[in-house]
C-alpha cells in the first residue's frame, strides 16, 4: 500500500535574518533532515519579530501542511515573542510551565545562577504544549498540535529537531538519483524535458554551476517509487549516451 505524503513548512522568525546581520543556517539543515525521514518540505517563510505577523503566518501555515516548524524567538529577551505568538495563534493562555521550570531549576542551581525574570521567561509555554528536550541549554522547545517550536541558535535547534523527530509521523521517502555532466544545461534541456513528459511520478531537475571555468550540470531525478525512478534514470542515461552527452 502506498504511504501517505506527510508535508511541512518552516517559519523562520527573526529580524536579524531579514536585516542580513545573520545568515540563516537552519532552513537547509531542516530541509535535508525532513527529506531523509520522509517529510516533504513545501514552503518556507521568514518574518520579522512582530507579533501579528507571526500569528498570521502560523495560522496560515499550520492549516496547509502536516507540520509547521518554527525557529527563533524563544530566548529570554523582550524581542523573544514566539511563545506568546503561538499562544495567541491557538487562542490559549500562556504561563510558566512547571515541567519546564523543573528542568531549568537544577541546571541554573548547579551553576550558581539565579532564576531571574528573564530566565523564567523561557519557561513560559502555551497551555497544552508538549516539551521538546534541549540537551545544550535546557530551556525547552515545544510542540503545540502540529506546530514544532524550536530555538534559532543552530546548535540548539539541531538537538531539538533530533529530540522531536521520534514523535513525528513520516510518509513515503523521496528517493533521489543524480548524474553529473560536464555540459551546459542548455544542451540537455530538450532531452530532459521530453523524458519528464513520460514520467509524471518522477520529478526531474537540472542544476547548472560554474566550476574550474567550466559550465556543469547536475541532473536530479526524484520519486517515491523506486522502480519508476530506476527506469527513468536508465532511460535518461541511455538517451544521453546515444547523443554522446554522457
The 86-125 site mask, x for binding a second copy (CB under 8 A), equals: ------------------------------xxxx-xx---
The 151-190 site mask, x for binding a second copy (CB under 8 A), equals: --x-x------------------x-x--------xxxxxx
Q: Quick one: residue 121, left, alpha or beta (phi over 0 = left, psi -120 to 50 = alpha)? A: alpha
The 3-42 site mask, x for binding a second copy (CB under 8 A), equals: ---------x--xxxxxxxxxx--xxxxxxxxxx----xx
Out of 83, 192, 202, 236, point to the residue binding a second copy (CB under 8 A). Answer: 192
The minimum distance between CB 102 and a second copy, in angstroms, equals 18
Nearer to a second copy, 92 or 196 (CB): 196
As a whole number of angstroms, the distance between CA 66 and CA 3 comes to: 14
By CB under 8 A, what part of segment 51-70 binds a second copy? none
| b/e per residue 14-26 (b: at least 16 CB within 10 A) | bbebeeeeeebeb
Q: Quick one: residue 139, left, alpha or beta (phi over 0 = left, psi -120 to 50 = alpha)? A: beta
Instruction: Give kind and range of the element (H or E) at residue 211.
Output: strand 203-211
| Closest of 94, 83, 158, 96 to residue 127, by C-alpha | 94
Contact positions vs a second copy (CB under 8 A): 12, 15-24, 27-36, 41-49, 75-79, 116-119, 121-122, 136, 153, 155, 174, 176, 185-190, 192-193, 196, 203-210, 220, 222
Amino acid at each position: 500500500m502506498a504511504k501517505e505524503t506527510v508535508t511541512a513548512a518552516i517559519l523562520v522568525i527573526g529580524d536579524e535574518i531579514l536585516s542580513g546581520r545573520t545568515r540563516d543556517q537552519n532552513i537547509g539543515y531542516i530541509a535535508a533532515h525532513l527529506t531523509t525521514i520522509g517529510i516533504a518540505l513545501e514552503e518556507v517563510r521568514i518574518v520579522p519579530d512582530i507579533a501579528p505577523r507571526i500569528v498570521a503566518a502560523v495560522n496560515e501555515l499550520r492549516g496547509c501542511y502536516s507540520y509547521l516548524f518554527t525557529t527563533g524567538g524563544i530566548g529570554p529577551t523582550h524581542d523573544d515573542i514566539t511563545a506568546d505568538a503561538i499562544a495567541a495563534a491557538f487562542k490559549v493562555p500562556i504561563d510558566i510551565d512547571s515541567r519546564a521550570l523543573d528542568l531549568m531549576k537544577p541546571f541554573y542551581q548547579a551553576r550558581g545562577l539565579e532564576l531571574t525574570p528573564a530566565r523564567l521567561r523561557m519557561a513560559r509555554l502555551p497551555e497544552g504544549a508538549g516539551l521538546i528536550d534541549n540537551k545544550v541549554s535546557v530551556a525547552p522547545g515545544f510542540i503545540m498540535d502540529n506546530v514544532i517550536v524550536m530555538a534559532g541558535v543552530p546548535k540548539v535547534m539541531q538537538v531539538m529537531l533530533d529530540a522531536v523527530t521520534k514523535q513525528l509521523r513520516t510518509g513515503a521517502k523521496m528517493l533521489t538519483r543524480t548524474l553529473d555532466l560536464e555540459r551546459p544545461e542548455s544542451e540537455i534541456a530538450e532531452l530532459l524535458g521530453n523524458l519528464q513528459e513520460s514520467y509524471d511520478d518522477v520529478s526531474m531537475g537540472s542544476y547548472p554551476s560554474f566550476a574550474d571555468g567550466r559550465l556543469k550540470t547536475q541532473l536530479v531525478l526524484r520519486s517515491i517509487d523506486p522502480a519508476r525512478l530506476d527506469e527513468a534514470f536508465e532511460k535518461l542515461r541511455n538517451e544521453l549516451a546515444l547523443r554522446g552527452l554522457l
